[in-house]
């Protein structure tokens, strides 16, 4: 059987969406260093609230920055409609520059299905969303933007090694007033915009690789939150169409390595 390379099958984009980002006048802040307890408190409220939701769905718009061989930066956009049922079910329909696929996780296996080419790849995996995401990244090389936010221990993961945390200002995203937070840790900066009020959902999430001069980012904006979707377990199960063809994932350690000219070895 042919192999499905996760680089061309791209990644599962778990969250994000910029539908409309209306900016209110920015508040000028003095530049400070250190960890502001107000910023960490808002982050913890958000992760605790999101972690308490047993089911939710969200529409997302994701922008992935990359570099051409010439060094010019280019952006790729992918939208996703994602539904999660804790502890072990997830479905995402993704469309955009890089991918047109449906991602299924049914507590036993993960499947990527391409409705255009009608091919799919299925891989047994862990029995929790967290375990599945770890496996998808570590063994299959699947990029999972914003997956940090859906882990049950998201706050601990996000705060590991943080050296700076601050409240930046207020912004309006998708018609909701959100508090803009900024954090730094070695080699990574991340920003999160958290909805004000009694439902502190994330509005936007940006992760920037600071380990290289290019400072490439993955930006994720979220909208159309439903914190009590009416979904059954069957909606997370993949049933291959009669004309679909099974292929296999290419394990991460079998990916071709590019030489200096860009050709694969």
pTM here? 0.82
* pLDDT for 5: 40
In sequence order, the 6+-apart residues with CB closer than 8 A to the CB of 181 are 39, 42, 43, 165, 166, 167, 168, 191, 192, 193, 194
* pLDDT for 2: 40
Contact 85, 132 (CB under 8 A): no
The gap from C-alpha 4 to its chain's centroid, in whole angstroms, comes to 21
Q: How confident is the model at residue 20 (pLDDT cuts 50, 70, 90)?
A: very low
* Beta strand pairing call for 188-195 and 202-209: antiparallel
CATH 2.50.20.10 fits 3-254, yes or no: yes
pLDDT tens-digit map of 44-99: 999 999 999 999 999 999 999 999 999 999 999 999 999 999 999 999 998 887 77
Q: What is the rounded distance in angstroms from the CA atom of residue 136 to the CA atom of residue 125?
A: 8
Q: With 50 as the cut, is the pLDDT of residue 219 above it?
A: yes
Name the residue ranges covered by the structural domains of the chain. Answer: 3-254
Q: Which residues pair with 109 in a beta bridge?
A: 124
Q: How confident is the model at residue 33 (pLDDT cuts 50, 70, 90)?
A: low
């Amino acid at each position: 059987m042919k192999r499905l390379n996760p680089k061309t099958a791209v990644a599962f984009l778990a969250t994000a969406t910029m539908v409309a980002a209306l900016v209110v006048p920015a508040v000028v802040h003095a530049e400070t260093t250190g960890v502001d307890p107000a910023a960490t408190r808002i982050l913890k409220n958000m992760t605790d609230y999101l972690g308490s939701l047993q089911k939710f769905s969200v529409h997302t718009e994701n922008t992935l920055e990359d570099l051409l061989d010439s060094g010019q930066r280019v952006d790729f956009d992918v939208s996703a409609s994602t539904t999660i049922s804790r502890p072990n079910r997830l479905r995402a329909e993704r469309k955009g520059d890089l991918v047109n696929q449906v991602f299924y996780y049914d507590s036993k296996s993960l499947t990527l299905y391409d409705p255009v080419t009608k091919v799919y790849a299925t891989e047994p995996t862990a029995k929790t969303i967290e375990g599945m995401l770890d496996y998808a990244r570590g063994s299959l090389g699947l990029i999972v933007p914003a997956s940090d936010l859906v882990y049950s221990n998201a706050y601990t993961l996000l705060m590991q090694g943080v050296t700076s945390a601050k409240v930046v200002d207020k912004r309006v995203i998708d018609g909701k007033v959100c508090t803009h937070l900024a954090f730094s840790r070695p080699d990574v900066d991340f920003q999160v915009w958290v909805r004000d009020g009694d439902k502190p959902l994330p509005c936007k999430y940006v992760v920037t690789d600071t380990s290289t001069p290019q400072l490439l980012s993955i930006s994720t904006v979220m909208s159309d939150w439903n914190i009590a979707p009416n979904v059954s377990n069957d909606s997370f199960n993949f049933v291959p169409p009669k004309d679909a063809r099974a292929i296999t994932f290419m394990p991460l350690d079998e990916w071709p390595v590019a030489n200096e000219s860009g050709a694969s070895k």
